[in-house]
Chains A and B, each alone.
Chain A
Amino acid sequence: MESEARYVRIGLATLVLIALLVLGLYWLAGANSDQGGERYLVYFQNQSLEGLQISSDVRMQGIKVGRVVDYAIIPGQGHKVRVLLQVDARTPVLEGIKATVARHLVTGLAAIDLDNPPQAAVPLTAIPEGERYPVIPEGVPQFTRVANTLEVLGASGQEALSRFNAMLSDRNQQSLTGSLANLNAVTRELSQAMPELRAAVASAKRAADQADDLGGEAKTTLKTANESLVKVTGATTATLTMARTTLDHVDREVSGLSGQVKLTADLAGQEIQSTAQSLRLAGDALQETGRALANPARVLYGPSPKSLGPGEKLQ
């Protein structure tokens, strides 16, 4: 009797274990798949789905909110992939939401990021005709936007560099060098003149202050100046008369000096003429004397009868 009872207890335990095993397998196999969630379709045609797998994460604001349920390349449209997502029912999926593929740089595993529009909108519930679930539009990934931005920035930079190169042509460089040199010279001169400018400004300020101070005294001063001017006029007339006299005297002196110079030059010229003439005559006389001495017989014996002039005779 005891052995039959043991057999019953062993059989019941085995059935319990089998039931627990079935329940565990069911739980493991997809109890979550039937959990409360909404399914959405996404058609990707501009982004690579490399690294995307069934059950890959679906995230929103960096938080996992769902998983990839299925994906398939649409026949006849090689660049278009249909991806089925299951998103937690508590997650707000609004009109204008975008779906992008995010890829881990190290593991290469991909996930789907959902990005709601910034402004408030109604939940996405509309199901397009011919579809079983609402369709989330494909968005532009951040990396692509950065790349596009970089591409645009690169194009703009290239254009800027081209213009910069054009701006830095040899001629412009020469002009720029000249301008810089001129600017340097102007700066140096300005620096040198800075003390004078400061002094001028200070002087102008003082003059302005003095002008303000003198404003009240101007009337008195003008009156005094008028009186002084009358006196100065008289003195000026006398001074001008004296100056005219002085100038006349100077003119006479200059004229006299000019006459003296002219006289000296004239007399010197006369002396030179006379001296030159005397030298010439002396030379001629010397030559004549030498010619006379060339005949010593005449010196010793006197003139010959043949050289006597008309009416002359030797005694």
Chain B
Amino acid sequence: MKKLFWLLPLIWLSACSGLPGPAQPSTYYVLTDPGPVEASPKTLPGVLLLREMDASAFYQEPRLAYSRIPGTRANYEFAYWTELPAKRLTWLLRQRLEAAGTFVAVAPLSGGVVGDYQLNTRLIDFYHDAATPPGEVLLLVEAELVRRDRGVLLGRRIFVSQQPVAAFDAAAAAEAMNRAANQVLDEIVAWLGEANG
């Protein structure tokens, strides 16, 4: 009985020896807005509250997304975002709006600031279309502007950006995603100026 007791750790260690060894190291990418930032022609009166971007459950995953077959999505195994893309895009958008000076002030929703407008956004798609190498990056964001004191929807629009990917890998995809984010943010800021003008 004692011999059987000593055999159990040996069996466990032998099982661990069957596990795969260390794989490709994971890479963490930072979604950035490379700019440049263009100042708005006029500052709109009022405070804009920015609600955190909604995203589906699939995009509440820190790994970069890609698609080899149309209509499907998958995640890179070793390419991660440093922050969830929806949350990161919200922050980038707030930085962009403040830098552009579109509104008197921009604050996050539930930040203790009373706002005149509210911007609701939703991340619809943000992936590397890898059906045809090297592929392209596709970013779709829906935005709607609400007049808070009257509860009126001032406008809604879906912004789309397609950016080619330089190489068939995660690093090139991340770089294209930065460009796509830059384009979409540019368009959102311009649209806000128009929608409230």
In this assembly, does B11 line the interface, its C-beta being within 8 Å of a C-beta of chain A?
Answer: no
Encode A260-301 as 1/0 by CB contact (under 8 A) with B: 001100110011011101001100110110000000000011
Which of A9-17, A93-101, A189-197, A306-314 lies at the binding interface? A306-314
A312 contacts B78, CB within 8 Å?
A: yes
A3 contacts B by Cβ under 8 Å? no
Interface contact B114-A284, CB-CB below 8 Å: no
For residue A315, CB closer than 8 A to chain B, the reply is: yes
Q: Which residues of B contact A (CB under 8 A)?
A: 19-24, 49, 51-52, 54-58, 60-61, 64, 66, 68, 74-79, 109-112, 114, 128, 130, 133-135, 148, 167-171, 173
Chain B residues whose C-beta falls within 8 Å of the C-beta of A315 in the assembled complex: 21-24
Taking a contact as CB atoms under 8 Å apart, the answer to whether A285 and B170 are in contact is no
Query: Are A270 and B170 touching (Cβ within 8 A)?
Result: no
The answer to whether B77 touches A274 (Cβ under 8 A) is no
Pick the contact of A277: B54, B58, B135, B169 (CB < 8 A). Answer: B54
The reply to whether B169 and A310 contact each other, CB–CB distance below 8 Å, is yes
A302 on the interface (CB 8 Å rule)?
yes
What are 30 A-B pairs with beta-carbon distances under 8 A? A263-B114, A267-B110, A267-B112, A267-B114, A270-B49, A270-B109, A275-B110, A277-B51, A277-B54, A284-B57, A288-B61, A301-B19, A303-B23, A307-B74, A309-B76, A310-B76, A310-B128, A310-B130, A310-B133, A310-B168, A310-B169, A311-B170, A311-B171, A312-B76, A312-B77, A312-B169, A312-B170, A314-B23, A314-B24, A315-B24
A235 to chain B, nearest CB (A): 45
Q: Are A285 and B57 in contact (CB under 8 A)?
A: yes
A310-B133, A311-B168 known; A273+B109 contact, CB < 8 A: yes
- State the Cβ distance, A187 to closest chain B Cβ, in Å: 63
Rounded to whole angstroms, the CA-CA distance of A112 and B20 in the bound complex is 166
Known contacts A310-B133, A312-B78; A302/B52 CB under 8 A:
no
Closest to B76 in A: A309
Nearest to A301 among chain B residues (CB) is B20
Partner among A274, A275, A287, A300 whose Cβ is within 8 Å of the Cβ of B57: A287
Chain B nearest Cβ from A272, distance in angstroms: 9
Report Cα–Cα, A293/B86, bound state, in Å.
23
Query: What's the least CB distance linking A79 to chain B, in Å?
Result: 114
List 6 tightest A-B contacts by C-beta distance, closest first. A311-B169, A309-B76, A284-B57, A274-B110, A303-B77, A270-B110
A264 to chain B, nearest CB (A): 10
Q: Is the CB of A312 within 8 A of B168?
A: no
* Nearest chain A CB to B58 CB, angstrom units: 7
* A287→B168 CA distance, assembly (Å): 30
Distance to closest chain A CB from B70 (angstroms): 15
Contacts A267-B110, A284-B60, A314-B24 known; 13 new A-B pairs at CB < 8 A: A263-B114, A273-B110, A288-B58, A303-B77, A308-B77, A309-B130, A310-B68, A310-B128, A310-B134, A310-B135, A310-B168, A312-B24, A314-B20
Chain A CB count within 10 A is highest, among B23, B64, B77, for B77
B112 engages A273 (CB within 8 Å): no
Q: Which residues of B contact A281 (CB under 8 A)?
A: 54-55, 60
Most buried by A among B20, B167, B173: B20
- B60 with A307: CB separation less than 8 A: no
Contacts of B24 in A (CB 8 A): 312-315
